[in-house]
Chains A and B, each alone.
Chain A
Amino acid sequence: MQAVLSGDMPRSKILALILAGILICLALAPFLFPGVRTVDTAARICVFIVLVASYDLLLGYGGIVSFAHTMFFGIGAYGVALASTHMGRGFDAIAVGAAAGALVAAALALIIGLFSLRVRAIFFAMITLAVASAVAVLVSQLSGLTGGEDGLTFKTPRELGPAFKFGDKLFGVKLNGKLLAYYFVFFGALILFLGLLRVVNSPFGRVLQAIRENDFRAEAIGYRVVFYRVAATCLSAAVAALAGSLYAVWLRYVGPDTTLSMEIMIDILLMVVIGGMGTMYGAVIGATLFVLAQNYLQNLMGAASGLVEGVPILPELLSADRWLLWLGVLFILSVYFFPTGVVGRLRQGN
Protein backbone atom coordinates (compact mmCIF):
# COMPACT_ATOMS: atom_id res chain seq x y z
CA MET A 1 0.00 0.00 0.00
CA GLN A 2 2.89 2.33 0.87
CA ALA A 3 4.34 1.82 -2.61
CA VAL A 4 0.99 2.35 -4.38
CA LEU A 5 0.40 5.59 -2.46
CA SER A 6 4.04 6.67 -2.92
CA GLY A 7 4.52 6.69 0.85
CA ASP A 8 1.88 9.40 1.25
CA MET A 9 -0.47 7.71 3.69
CA PRO A 10 -3.69 9.45 4.81
CA ARG A 11 -2.22 9.98 8.34
CA SER A 12 -5.67 9.98 9.92
CA LYS A 13 -7.87 6.99 10.61
CA ILE A 14 -11.06 8.89 9.77
CA LEU A 15 -9.55 10.17 6.54
CA ALA A 16 -8.38 6.67 5.63
CA LEU A 17 -11.89 5.33 6.23
CA ILE A 18 -13.50 8.11 4.16
CA LEU A 19 -11.04 7.59 1.31
CA ALA A 20 -11.53 3.83 1.38
CA GLY A 21 -15.30 4.38 1.38
CA ILE A 22 -15.10 6.69 -1.64
CA LEU A 23 -12.81 4.26 -3.47
CA ILE A 24 -15.15 1.32 -2.84
CA CYS A 25 -18.23 3.33 -3.81
CA LEU A 26 -16.62 4.52 -7.04
CA ALA A 27 -15.18 1.12 -7.88
CA LEU A 28 -18.55 -0.58 -7.42
CA ALA A 29 -20.81 2.34 -8.34
CA PRO A 30 -22.62 0.62 -11.24
CA PHE A 31 -23.46 -2.30 -8.93
CA LEU A 32 -24.07 -0.43 -5.67
CA PHE A 33 -26.06 2.42 -7.18
CA PRO A 34 -27.45 1.21 -10.49
CA GLY A 35 -29.13 3.94 -12.46
CA VAL A 36 -28.16 6.32 -15.20
CA ARG A 37 -27.90 9.40 -12.99
CA THR A 38 -25.97 7.78 -10.16
CA VAL A 39 -23.40 6.20 -12.47
CA ASP A 40 -23.08 9.48 -14.34
CA THR A 41 -22.43 11.23 -11.01
CA ALA A 42 -19.79 8.63 -10.12
CA ALA A 43 -18.06 9.11 -13.50
CA ARG A 44 -18.06 12.89 -13.02
CA ILE A 45 -16.55 12.44 -9.56
CA CYS A 46 -13.75 10.31 -11.07
CA VAL A 47 -13.01 12.93 -13.75
CA PHE A 48 -13.16 15.85 -11.33
CA ILE A 49 -10.88 14.11 -8.82
CA VAL A 50 -8.15 14.07 -11.49
CA LEU A 51 -8.93 17.59 -12.65
CA VAL A 52 -8.87 19.00 -9.11
CA ALA A 53 -5.74 17.00 -8.21
CA SER A 54 -3.95 18.37 -11.26
CA TYR A 55 -4.98 21.89 -10.24
CA ASP A 56 -3.77 21.22 -6.71
CA LEU A 57 -0.36 20.34 -8.13
CA LEU A 58 -0.24 23.93 -9.33
CA LEU A 59 -1.99 25.77 -6.53
CA GLY A 60 -1.41 23.64 -3.47
CA TYR A 61 2.08 22.38 -4.23
CA GLY A 62 3.45 25.11 -6.49
CA GLY A 63 1.62 28.13 -5.08
CA ILE A 64 0.66 29.16 -8.64
CA VAL A 65 -2.81 30.54 -9.30
CA SER A 66 -4.14 29.72 -12.75
CA PHE A 67 -7.51 30.48 -14.35
CA ALA A 68 -6.82 28.43 -17.44
CA HIS A 69 -7.29 24.98 -16.02
CA THR A 70 -10.64 24.47 -17.71
CA MET A 71 -9.01 25.56 -20.95
CA PHE A 72 -6.55 22.66 -20.65
CA PHE A 73 -9.43 20.39 -19.64
CA GLY A 74 -11.31 21.52 -22.73
CA ILE A 75 -8.31 21.03 -25.01
CA GLY A 76 -8.15 17.37 -23.95
CA ALA A 77 -11.88 16.91 -24.42
CA TYR A 78 -11.90 18.58 -27.84
CA GLY A 79 -8.81 16.55 -28.80
CA VAL A 80 -10.74 13.29 -28.39
CA ALA A 81 -13.86 14.73 -30.00
CA LEU A 82 -12.02 16.02 -33.06
CA ALA A 83 -9.93 12.87 -33.45
CA SER A 84 -13.02 10.67 -33.15
CA THR A 85 -14.90 12.85 -35.63
CA HIS A 86 -12.15 12.90 -38.23
CA MET A 87 -10.55 9.49 -37.73
CA GLY A 88 -13.78 7.67 -37.05
CA ARG A 89 -14.76 5.84 -33.87
CA GLY A 90 -12.07 3.69 -32.32
CA PHE A 91 -9.60 3.41 -29.48
CA ASP A 92 -6.88 4.70 -31.80
CA ALA A 93 -8.83 7.96 -32.21
CA ILE A 94 -9.18 8.25 -28.43
CA ALA A 95 -5.46 7.61 -27.96
CA VAL A 96 -4.44 10.08 -30.67
CA GLY A 97 -6.91 12.72 -29.46
CA ALA A 98 -5.87 12.35 -25.82
CA ALA A 99 -2.14 12.43 -26.63
CA ALA A 100 -2.54 15.41 -28.96
CA GLY A 101 -4.70 17.22 -26.41
CA ALA A 102 -2.13 16.63 -23.65
CA LEU A 103 0.72 17.79 -25.88
CA VAL A 104 -1.08 20.92 -27.03
CA ALA A 105 -2.06 21.74 -23.45
CA ALA A 106 1.52 21.24 -22.23
CA ALA A 107 2.90 23.34 -25.09
CA LEU A 108 0.44 26.14 -24.41
CA ALA A 109 1.25 25.98 -20.69
CA LEU A 110 4.96 26.15 -21.57
CA ILE A 111 4.46 29.30 -23.64
CA ILE A 112 2.26 30.98 -21.01
CA GLY A 113 4.65 29.91 -18.25
CA LEU A 114 7.78 31.14 -19.98
CA PHE A 115 6.17 34.50 -20.66
CA SER A 116 4.68 35.07 -17.25
CA LEU A 117 6.28 32.89 -14.57
CA ARG A 118 9.69 34.50 -15.08
CA VAL A 119 8.34 37.72 -13.64
CA ARG A 120 5.86 37.14 -10.82
CA ALA A 121 3.30 34.42 -10.22
CA ILE A 122 0.47 37.00 -10.21
CA PHE A 123 1.13 37.77 -13.88
CA PHE A 124 0.62 34.11 -14.62
CA ALA A 125 -2.86 34.28 -13.07
CA MET A 126 -3.73 37.35 -15.14
CA ILE A 127 -2.39 35.92 -18.38
CA THR A 128 -4.12 32.58 -17.88
CA LEU A 129 -7.40 34.43 -17.38
CA ALA A 130 -6.90 36.33 -20.62
CA VAL A 131 -5.81 33.27 -22.63
CA ALA A 132 -8.65 31.11 -21.26
CA SER A 133 -11.20 33.75 -22.21
CA ALA A 134 -9.67 34.08 -25.67
CA VAL A 135 -9.71 30.31 -26.25
CA ALA A 136 -13.34 30.05 -25.09
CA VAL A 137 -14.32 32.78 -27.58
CA LEU A 138 -12.23 31.12 -30.29
CA VAL A 139 -13.91 27.75 -29.75
CA SER A 140 -17.39 29.26 -30.06
CA GLN A 141 -16.36 31.27 -33.13
CA LEU A 142 -14.68 28.39 -35.01
CA SER A 143 -17.98 26.60 -35.36
CA GLY A 144 -16.90 24.76 -38.53
CA LEU A 145 -14.26 22.92 -36.55
CA THR A 146 -15.56 22.87 -32.98
CA GLY A 147 -19.30 22.97 -33.46
CA GLY A 148 -19.41 26.43 -31.87
CA GLU A 149 -21.83 26.88 -28.98
CA ASP A 150 -23.57 23.61 -29.90
CA GLY A 151 -20.38 21.62 -29.40
CA LEU A 152 -19.58 18.29 -30.99
CA THR A 153 -21.34 14.98 -30.59
CA PHE A 154 -19.16 12.07 -31.65
CA LYS A 155 -19.03 8.30 -31.56
CA THR A 156 -16.79 6.36 -29.20
CA PRO A 157 -15.71 2.75 -29.90
CA ARG A 158 -18.62 0.34 -30.07
CA GLU A 159 -17.24 -1.47 -27.02
CA LEU A 160 -17.93 1.66 -24.95
CA GLY A 161 -21.48 2.20 -26.18
CA PRO A 162 -24.73 0.98 -24.55
CA ALA A 163 -25.51 -1.18 -27.59
CA PHE A 164 -22.48 -3.40 -27.01
CA LYS A 165 -23.32 -6.42 -24.87
CA PHE A 166 -20.76 -8.80 -23.41
CA GLY A 167 -23.01 -10.85 -21.18
CA ASP A 168 -26.43 -10.88 -19.66
CA LYS A 169 -26.56 -9.40 -16.18
CA LEU A 170 -24.35 -9.38 -13.10
CA PHE A 171 -26.03 -8.57 -9.78
CA GLY A 172 -28.90 -7.17 -11.81
CA VAL A 173 -26.69 -4.84 -13.82
CA LYS A 174 -26.60 -5.07 -17.61
CA LEU A 175 -23.17 -6.01 -18.90
CA ASN A 176 -22.91 -3.53 -21.73
CA GLY A 177 -20.53 -0.98 -23.20
CA LYS A 178 -21.71 1.76 -20.85
CA LEU A 179 -20.40 -0.30 -17.94
CA LEU A 180 -17.09 -0.69 -19.79
CA ALA A 181 -17.04 3.06 -20.45
CA TYR A 182 -17.49 3.69 -16.74
CA TYR A 183 -14.57 1.44 -15.87
CA PHE A 184 -12.50 3.04 -18.63
CA VAL A 185 -13.06 6.38 -16.88
CA PHE A 186 -12.61 4.92 -13.40
CA PHE A 187 -9.32 3.16 -14.10
CA GLY A 188 -8.06 6.05 -16.24
CA ALA A 189 -8.76 8.43 -13.36
CA LEU A 190 -7.22 6.04 -10.81
CA ILE A 191 -3.99 5.71 -12.81
CA LEU A 192 -3.73 9.47 -13.34
CA PHE A 193 -4.41 10.17 -9.66
CA LEU A 194 -1.80 7.67 -8.47
CA GLY A 195 0.63 9.16 -11.01
CA LEU A 196 0.06 12.63 -9.56
CA LEU A 197 0.49 11.24 -6.06
CA ARG A 198 3.85 9.87 -7.17
CA VAL A 199 4.86 13.21 -8.66
CA VAL A 200 4.08 15.25 -5.55
CA ASN A 201 5.94 12.77 -3.36
CA SER A 202 8.99 12.72 -5.61
CA PRO A 203 12.00 15.04 -5.22
CA PHE A 204 10.35 17.23 -7.88
CA GLY A 205 7.27 17.59 -5.67
CA ARG A 206 9.38 18.44 -2.63
CA VAL A 207 11.21 21.16 -4.54
CA LEU A 208 7.85 22.56 -5.65
CA GLN A 209 6.69 22.69 -2.05
CA ALA A 210 9.94 24.36 -1.05
CA ILE A 211 9.46 26.97 -3.80
CA ARG A 212 5.89 27.60 -2.68
CA GLU A 213 7.09 28.28 0.86
CA ASN A 214 10.18 30.33 0.12
CA ASP A 215 11.22 30.75 -3.48
CA PHE A 216 14.30 32.80 -2.69
CA ARG A 217 15.56 30.18 -0.24
CA ALA A 218 14.97 27.44 -2.83
CA GLU A 219 17.00 29.46 -5.34
CA ALA A 220 19.74 30.04 -2.79
CA ILE A 221 20.00 26.27 -2.35
CA GLY A 222 20.45 25.89 -6.10
CA TYR A 223 17.02 25.18 -7.59
CA ARG A 224 15.90 27.09 -10.70
CA VAL A 225 12.50 28.31 -9.60
CA VAL A 226 11.25 29.20 -13.10
CA PHE A 227 12.15 25.76 -14.44
CA TYR A 228 10.25 23.98 -11.67
CA ARG A 229 7.23 26.27 -11.93
CA VAL A 230 7.03 25.91 -15.70
CA ALA A 231 7.48 22.12 -15.47
CA ALA A 232 4.67 21.91 -12.89
CA THR A 233 2.45 24.04 -15.11
CA CYS A 234 3.05 21.83 -18.13
CA LEU A 235 2.49 18.62 -16.18
CA SER A 236 -0.64 19.97 -14.57
CA ALA A 237 -1.98 21.11 -17.96
CA ALA A 238 -1.27 17.73 -19.56
CA VAL A 239 -3.07 15.84 -16.76
CA ALA A 240 -6.02 18.26 -16.92
CA ALA A 241 -6.20 17.59 -20.66
CA LEU A 242 -6.21 13.83 -20.03
CA ALA A 243 -9.03 14.31 -17.51
CA GLY A 244 -10.86 16.22 -20.26
CA SER A 245 -10.31 13.29 -22.61
CA LEU A 246 -11.87 10.90 -20.08
CA TYR A 247 -14.80 13.26 -19.69
CA ALA A 248 -15.31 13.41 -23.45
CA VAL A 249 -15.25 9.62 -23.70
CA TRP A 250 -17.88 9.41 -20.99
CA LEU A 251 -20.19 12.10 -22.37
CA ARG A 252 -19.57 11.40 -26.09
CA TYR A 253 -20.07 15.12 -26.42
CA VAL A 254 -17.99 18.26 -25.91
CA GLY A 255 -19.16 21.83 -25.76
CA PRO A 256 -17.97 25.14 -24.33
CA ASP A 257 -20.33 24.91 -21.36
CA THR A 258 -19.30 21.40 -20.34
CA THR A 259 -15.54 21.80 -20.66
CA LEU A 260 -14.44 25.42 -21.04
CA SER A 261 -16.67 27.59 -18.91
CA MET A 262 -15.42 29.84 -16.12
CA GLU A 263 -18.11 28.24 -13.95
CA ILE A 264 -16.14 24.97 -14.00
CA MET A 265 -12.99 26.90 -13.08
CA ILE A 266 -14.72 28.32 -10.01
CA ASP A 267 -16.01 24.85 -9.13
CA ILE A 268 -12.44 23.51 -9.28
CA LEU A 269 -11.24 26.27 -6.98
CA LEU A 270 -14.02 25.49 -4.52
CA MET A 271 -13.25 21.77 -4.61
CA VAL A 272 -9.56 22.41 -3.90
CA VAL A 273 -10.37 24.70 -0.98
CA ILE A 274 -13.04 22.41 0.49
CA GLY A 275 -10.83 19.32 0.25
CA GLY A 276 -7.63 21.03 1.37
CA MET A 277 -4.83 22.58 -0.64
CA GLY A 278 -1.52 20.81 -0.94
CA THR A 279 -2.97 17.37 -0.29
CA MET A 280 -3.86 15.14 -3.19
CA TYR A 281 -6.47 13.46 -0.99
CA GLY A 282 -8.14 16.84 -0.67
CA ALA A 283 -9.02 16.56 -4.35
CA VAL A 284 -10.81 13.26 -3.67
CA ILE A 285 -12.84 14.68 -0.78
CA GLY A 286 -13.47 18.07 -2.41
CA ALA A 287 -14.59 16.66 -5.77
CA THR A 288 -16.79 14.01 -4.18
CA LEU A 289 -18.54 16.42 -1.82
CA PHE A 290 -18.98 19.09 -4.44
CA VAL A 291 -20.24 16.90 -7.27
CA LEU A 292 -22.62 15.12 -4.88
CA ALA A 293 -23.91 18.48 -3.63
CA GLN A 294 -24.28 19.74 -7.20
CA ASN A 295 -26.28 16.68 -8.17
CA TYR A 296 -28.27 15.86 -5.08
CA LEU A 297 -28.58 18.96 -2.90
CA GLN A 298 -31.55 20.11 -4.95
CA ASN A 299 -33.34 16.77 -4.41
CA LEU A 300 -32.41 16.71 -0.75
CA MET A 301 -33.77 20.20 -0.21
CA GLY A 302 -36.95 19.40 -2.12
CA ALA A 303 -37.51 16.43 0.21
CA ALA A 304 -36.67 18.52 3.30
CA SER A 305 -39.05 21.24 2.13
CA GLY A 306 -41.84 18.67 1.81
CA LEU A 307 -41.14 17.38 5.33
CA VAL A 308 -41.54 20.80 6.95
CA GLU A 309 -44.64 21.76 5.00
CA GLY A 310 -46.99 23.73 7.20
CA VAL A 311 -44.17 25.21 9.29
CA PRO A 312 -43.79 28.95 8.64
CA ILE A 313 -40.84 30.18 6.52
CA LEU A 314 -38.94 26.85 6.50
CA PRO A 315 -40.50 25.33 3.35
CA GLU A 316 -39.67 28.53 1.47
CA LEU A 317 -36.17 28.57 2.87
CA LEU A 318 -35.58 24.93 1.93
CA SER A 319 -37.19 25.22 -1.48
CA ALA A 320 -35.30 23.21 -4.09
CA ASP A 321 -34.89 26.37 -6.14
CA ARG A 322 -32.63 27.79 -3.43
CA TRP A 323 -30.07 25.00 -3.66
CA LEU A 324 -27.34 27.32 -4.96
CA LEU A 325 -27.81 29.62 -1.99
CA TRP A 326 -27.35 26.68 0.38
CA LEU A 327 -24.37 25.44 -1.58
CA GLY A 328 -22.82 28.87 -0.99
CA VAL A 329 -23.66 28.69 2.71
CA LEU A 330 -22.12 25.21 2.91
CA PHE A 331 -18.99 26.52 1.23
CA ILE A 332 -18.69 29.44 3.68
CA LEU A 333 -19.22 27.11 6.63
CA SER A 334 -16.65 24.62 5.34
CA VAL A 335 -14.05 27.38 4.91
CA TYR A 336 -14.88 28.71 8.38
CA PHE A 337 -14.70 25.37 10.15
CA PHE A 338 -12.03 23.79 7.94
CA PRO A 339 -9.67 26.60 6.92
CA THR A 340 -7.08 24.01 5.92
CA GLY A 341 -9.72 21.95 4.13
CA VAL A 342 -11.35 18.73 5.26
CA VAL A 343 -8.11 16.77 4.86
CA GLY A 344 -6.03 19.37 6.71
CA ARG A 345 -8.54 19.41 9.58
CA LEU A 346 -8.66 15.62 9.82
CA ARG A 347 -4.88 15.39 9.82
CA GLN A 348 -4.57 18.07 12.49
CA GLY A 349 -7.13 16.24 14.57
CA ASN A 350 -4.96 13.19 14.38
Chain B
Amino acid sequence: MERVIKVVRMQLINKWVFIGLPLLILGCSFIFSLAIFWIVREAGAEGAVYGGGAQAPMWYFLALGIQALTLTFPFSQAMSVSRRSFYLGTVLLFSACALALSIFYYLMGLVEKATGGWWLDSRFFALEWIADNNAAVQVGFYFVLMVLLFMIGFLIATIYMRWKTTGMVVFFIGLGVVLLGVAALMTFSDFWDNFWSWALTWTAAGVTLWGGAVAVVMAGGSYLTLRKATVA
Protein backbone atom coordinates (compact mmCIF):
# COMPACT_ATOMS: atom_id res chain seq x y z
CA MET B 1 0.00 0.00 0.00
CA GLU B 2 2.87 2.31 0.82
CA ARG B 3 4.18 2.02 -2.73
CA VAL B 4 0.71 2.57 -4.16
CA ILE B 5 0.59 5.93 -2.39
CA LYS B 6 4.09 6.68 -3.67
CA VAL B 7 2.85 6.04 -7.21
CA VAL B 8 0.13 8.63 -6.57
CA ARG B 9 2.80 11.07 -5.38
CA MET B 10 4.94 10.28 -8.41
CA GLN B 11 2.04 10.99 -10.77
CA LEU B 12 1.47 14.27 -8.94
CA ILE B 13 5.09 15.42 -9.19
CA ASN B 14 3.90 17.19 -12.29
CA LYS B 15 0.63 18.62 -11.00
CA TRP B 16 -0.06 20.29 -14.30
CA VAL B 17 -0.94 16.98 -15.98
CA PHE B 18 -3.57 15.71 -13.57
CA ILE B 19 -4.93 18.94 -12.10
CA GLY B 20 -3.84 22.08 -13.95
CA LEU B 21 -4.56 21.08 -17.51
CA PRO B 22 -8.08 19.62 -16.96
CA LEU B 23 -9.06 22.77 -15.07
CA LEU B 24 -7.65 24.96 -17.82
CA ILE B 25 -9.56 22.99 -20.46
CA LEU B 26 -12.76 23.24 -18.46
CA GLY B 27 -12.28 26.95 -17.74
CA CYS B 28 -11.62 27.81 -21.38
CA SER B 29 -14.48 25.74 -22.71
CA PHE B 30 -16.80 27.34 -20.12
CA ILE B 31 -15.79 30.87 -20.98
CA PHE B 32 -16.00 30.22 -24.74
CA SER B 33 -19.42 28.62 -24.31
CA LEU B 34 -20.70 31.57 -22.28
CA ALA B 35 -19.41 33.94 -24.93
CA ILE B 36 -21.23 31.96 -27.62
CA PHE B 37 -24.42 31.86 -25.51
CA TRP B 38 -24.23 35.62 -25.10
CA ILE B 39 -23.73 36.19 -28.84
CA VAL B 40 -26.63 33.90 -29.66
CA ARG B 41 -28.80 35.66 -27.09
CA GLU B 42 -27.86 39.08 -28.43
CA ALA B 43 -28.75 37.85 -31.91
CA GLY B 44 -32.24 37.32 -30.58
CA ALA B 45 -32.42 33.56 -29.92
CA GLU B 46 -35.35 32.43 -27.82
CA GLY B 47 -35.66 29.58 -25.34
CA ALA B 48 -32.87 27.76 -23.51
CA VAL B 49 -29.48 27.37 -25.22
CA TYR B 50 -27.38 24.26 -24.76
CA GLY B 51 -23.66 23.60 -24.97
CA GLY B 52 -21.68 20.39 -24.72
CA GLY B 53 -18.44 22.06 -23.64
CA ALA B 54 -18.50 20.38 -20.23
CA GLN B 55 -17.38 17.20 -21.98
CA ALA B 56 -14.06 18.76 -22.98
CA PRO B 57 -12.02 17.76 -19.92
CA MET B 58 -13.53 14.28 -20.08
CA TRP B 59 -11.97 13.69 -23.50
CA TYR B 60 -8.70 14.92 -22.11
CA PHE B 61 -8.92 12.01 -19.67
CA LEU B 62 -8.93 9.62 -22.61
CA ALA B 63 -5.57 11.04 -23.69
CA LEU B 64 -4.40 11.01 -20.08
CA GLY B 65 -5.17 7.30 -19.84
CA ILE B 66 -2.94 6.65 -22.84
CA GLN B 67 -0.16 8.91 -21.65
CA ALA B 68 -0.17 7.57 -18.09
CA LEU B 69 0.72 4.23 -19.57
CA THR B 70 3.01 4.78 -22.51
CA LEU B 71 5.36 7.15 -20.67
CA THR B 72 4.79 6.87 -16.95
CA PHE B 73 4.66 3.07 -16.90
CA PRO B 74 8.17 2.60 -18.37
CA PHE B 75 9.43 5.18 -15.89
CA SER B 76 7.72 3.44 -12.98
CA GLN B 77 9.49 0.24 -14.01
CA ALA B 78 12.81 2.03 -13.67
CA MET B 79 11.67 3.16 -10.23
CA SER B 80 11.33 -0.55 -9.34
CA VAL B 81 7.56 -0.31 -8.92
CA SER B 82 5.54 -3.47 -9.51
CA ARG B 83 2.89 -3.38 -12.21
CA ARG B 84 0.25 -3.93 -9.55
CA SER B 85 1.33 -0.91 -7.49
CA PHE B 86 1.60 1.23 -10.61
CA TYR B 87 -1.88 0.20 -11.71
CA LEU B 88 -3.53 0.69 -8.33
CA GLY B 89 -1.84 4.03 -7.68
CA THR B 90 -2.68 5.40 -11.10
CA VAL B 91 -6.31 4.26 -11.03
CA LEU B 92 -6.67 5.51 -7.46
CA LEU B 93 -5.36 8.96 -8.34
CA PHE B 94 -7.46 9.13 -11.45
CA SER B 95 -10.60 8.09 -9.59
CA ALA B 96 -9.99 10.76 -6.97
CA CYS B 97 -9.58 13.41 -9.68
CA ALA B 98 -12.68 12.20 -11.49
CA LEU B 99 -14.70 12.25 -8.27
CA ALA B 100 -13.55 15.76 -7.39
CA LEU B 101 -14.40 16.98 -10.87
CA SER B 102 -17.79 15.24 -10.78
CA ILE B 103 -18.71 16.96 -7.52
CA PHE B 104 -17.52 20.24 -9.03
CA TYR B 105 -19.81 19.67 -12.04
CA TYR B 106 -22.73 19.01 -9.73
CA LEU B 107 -22.07 22.15 -7.67
CA MET B 108 -21.63 24.27 -10.79
CA GLY B 109 -24.92 22.80 -12.01
CA LEU B 110 -26.62 24.12 -8.86
CA VAL B 111 -25.12 27.55 -9.42
CA GLU B 112 -26.22 27.40 -13.04
CA LYS B 113 -29.79 26.72 -12.03
CA ALA B 114 -29.73 29.36 -9.27
CA THR B 115 -28.51 32.02 -11.69
CA GLY B 116 -31.04 31.08 -14.35
CA GLY B 117 -28.38 29.61 -16.62
CA TRP B 118 -25.75 32.27 -15.96
CA TRP B 119 -28.39 34.95 -16.56
CA LEU B 120 -28.62 33.80 -20.17
CA ASP B 121 -30.99 30.83 -19.79
CA SER B 122 -28.11 28.63 -20.95
CA ARG B 123 -27.17 25.06 -20.04
CA PHE B 124 -23.54 24.17 -19.65
CA PHE B 125 -23.28 21.98 -16.53
CA ALA B 126 -26.92 21.18 -15.78
CA LEU B 127 -28.29 19.43 -18.88
CA GLU B 128 -31.83 18.47 -17.86
CA TRP B 129 -31.57 14.77 -18.70
CA ILE B 130 -28.86 14.53 -16.01
CA ALA B 131 -29.65 17.49 -13.77
CA ASP B 132 -33.20 16.41 -13.09
CA ASN B 133 -31.88 13.46 -11.07
CA ASN B 134 -30.80 13.49 -7.47
CA ALA B 135 -27.28 14.48 -6.43
CA ALA B 136 -25.94 10.91 -6.16
CA VAL B 137 -27.04 10.00 -9.69
CA GLN B 138 -25.61 13.23 -11.10
CA VAL B 139 -22.21 12.83 -9.45
CA GLY B 140 -22.22 9.11 -10.26
CA PHE B 141 -23.03 9.78 -13.91
CA TYR B 142 -20.17 12.24 -14.43
CA PHE B 143 -17.81 10.01 -12.49
CA VAL B 144 -18.62 6.88 -14.48
CA LEU B 145 -18.33 8.75 -17.75
CA MET B 146 -14.86 10.04 -16.87
CA VAL B 147 -13.66 6.69 -15.56
CA LEU B 148 -14.99 5.00 -18.67
CA LEU B 149 -13.08 7.34 -20.97
CA PHE B 150 -9.92 6.98 -18.91
CA MET B 151 -10.28 3.21 -18.98
CA ILE B 152 -10.74 3.15 -22.75
CA GLY B 153 -7.45 5.03 -23.12
CA PHE B 154 -5.79 2.88 -20.47
CA LEU B 155 -6.92 -0.41 -22.01
CA ILE B 156 -5.85 0.54 -25.51
CA ALA B 157 -2.47 1.66 -24.17
CA THR B 158 -1.96 -1.55 -22.18
CA ILE B 159 -2.71 -3.60 -25.26
CA TYR B 160 -0.10 -1.54 -27.06
CA MET B 161 2.46 -1.97 -24.27
CA ARG B 162 1.98 -5.71 -24.22
CA TRP B 163 1.58 -6.62 -27.87
CA LYS B 164 2.89 -3.47 -29.55
CA THR B 165 1.80 -2.71 -33.10
CA THR B 166 0.50 -6.21 -33.73
CA GLY B 167 -1.80 -5.81 -30.74
CA MET B 168 -3.15 -2.53 -32.06
CA VAL B 169 -3.77 -3.94 -35.54
CA VAL B 170 -5.55 -7.03 -34.21
CA PHE B 171 -7.54 -4.98 -31.67
CA PHE B 172 -8.83 -2.37 -34.10
CA ILE B 173 -9.53 -4.82 -36.92
CA GLY B 174 -11.35 -7.02 -34.40
CA LEU B 175 -13.31 -4.05 -33.08
CA GLY B 176 -14.21 -3.01 -36.62
CA VAL B 177 -15.39 -6.51 -37.51
CA VAL B 178 -17.54 -6.72 -34.37
CA LEU B 179 -19.14 -3.30 -34.96
CA LEU B 180 -19.74 -4.11 -38.61
CA GLY B 181 -21.30 -7.44 -37.65
CA VAL B 182 -23.62 -5.83 -35.11
CA ALA B 183 -24.67 -3.15 -37.61
CA ALA B 184 -25.31 -5.77 -40.29
CA LEU B 185 -27.33 -7.92 -37.90
CA MET B 186 -29.46 -4.97 -36.78
CA THR B 187 -30.05 -3.85 -40.36
CA PHE B 188 -31.02 -7.28 -41.73
CA SER B 189 -33.37 -7.99 -38.83
CA ASP B 190 -34.94 -4.49 -39.04
CA PHE B 191 -33.94 -3.89 -35.47
CA TRP B 192 -32.86 -0.24 -35.70
CA ASP B 193 -36.29 1.22 -34.88
CA ASN B 194 -36.54 -0.96 -31.81
CA PHE B 195 -33.03 0.03 -30.85
CA TRP B 196 -33.67 3.75 -31.03
CA SER B 197 -36.97 3.57 -29.17
CA TRP B 198 -35.17 1.51 -26.54
CA ALA B 199 -32.32 4.02 -26.38
CA LEU B 200 -34.80 6.80 -25.71
CA THR B 201 -35.92 5.02 -22.54
CA TRP B 202 -32.42 5.17 -21.07
CA THR B 203 -32.14 7.12 -17.85
CA ALA B 204 -29.07 8.76 -16.40
CA ALA B 205 -29.20 6.29 -13.51
CA GLY B 206 -29.35 3.31 -15.87
CA VAL B 207 -26.49 4.58 -18.00
CA THR B 208 -24.48 5.15 -14.81
CA LEU B 209 -25.01 1.56 -13.70
CA TRP B 210 -24.24 -0.03 -17.06
CA GLY B 211 -21.36 2.35 -17.71
CA GLY B 212 -19.97 1.49 -14.29
CA ALA B 213 -20.18 -2.22 -15.07
CA VAL B 214 -18.37 -1.73 -18.39
CA ALA B 215 -15.68 0.38 -16.68
CA VAL B 216 -15.10 -2.37 -14.11
CA VAL B 217 -14.75 -4.99 -16.85
CA MET B 218 -12.31 -2.77 -18.72
CA ALA B 219 -10.36 -2.08 -15.53
CA GLY B 220 -10.01 -5.83 -14.99
CA GLY B 221 -9.00 -6.37 -18.60
CA SER B 222 -6.35 -3.68 -18.56
CA TYR B 223 -4.94 -5.00 -15.27
CA LEU B 224 -4.65 -8.54 -16.63
CA THR B 225 -3.02 -7.17 -19.78
CA LEU B 226 -0.62 -4.99 -17.83
CA ARG B 227 0.47 -7.90 -15.63
CA LYS B 228 2.65 -9.22 -18.42
CA ALA B 229 3.42 -6.02 -20.29
CA THR B 230 7.08 -5.17 -20.80
CA VAL B 231 8.85 -1.97 -21.64
CA ALA B 232 11.08 -3.13 -24.44
Mutual binders A and B: no
